[in-house]
């Protein structure tokens, strides 16, 4: 499988299995909703790292608050300053 095919497959998988919504409410307060979150990798006041299908999301800001809003869904609120995505290999059994 070519790199192009892997990237297209990852985008399709992420679009089908994970939804990320960022809302900005006046000033610097922001809310971020992640559906179908696989796991919480780390969480503190400044950084939250989440595992989704095929990637990790790292959110930074001060102070960050992580809340559960349903099965497989989380809400991050606070003064979010950056959101980073890091691709990780997807095992065939995780699809």
Report the CATH number that the domain containing residue 71 is assigned in CATH.
2.60.40.2000
Q: Model confidence over 30-79: pLDDT tens digits?
A: 888 888 788 899 999 999 999 887 788 899 998 999 998 777 788 899 98
Q: Which domain holds residue 59?
A: 3-89
pLDDT at 55: 84
| Residue 55 within any structural domain of the chain | yes
| Closest among 88, 82, 81, 33 to 56, alpha carbons compared | 88
The verdict on residue 95 lying in a domain is: no
Domains: count for the chain: 1
Does 22 have pLDDT greater than 70?
no
CA atoms of 56 and 84, how far apart (whole Å):
8
Residues 85 and 57: beta-carbon distance below 8 Å: yes
Q: Is 94 contained in some domain?
A: no
> Is 80 within a domain?
yes
Query: What is the model's pLDDT at position 15?
Result: 57
Count of CB atoms within 10 A of residue 16's CB? 11
Whether this model's pTM surpasses 0.75: no
């Amino acid at each position: 499988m070519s790199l192009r095919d892997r990237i297209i497959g990852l985008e399709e998988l992420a679009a089908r299995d994970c939804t990320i919504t960022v809302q900005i409410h006046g000033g610097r307060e922001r809310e971020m909703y992640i559906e179908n979150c696989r796991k919480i990798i780390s969480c503190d006041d400044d950084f939250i790292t989440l595992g989704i299908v095929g990637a990790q999301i790292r959110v930074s800001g001060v102070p960050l608050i992580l809340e559960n809003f349903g099965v497989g869904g989380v809400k991050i609120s606070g003064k979010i300053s950056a959101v980073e995505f890091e691709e990780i290999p997807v095992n065939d059994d995780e699809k």
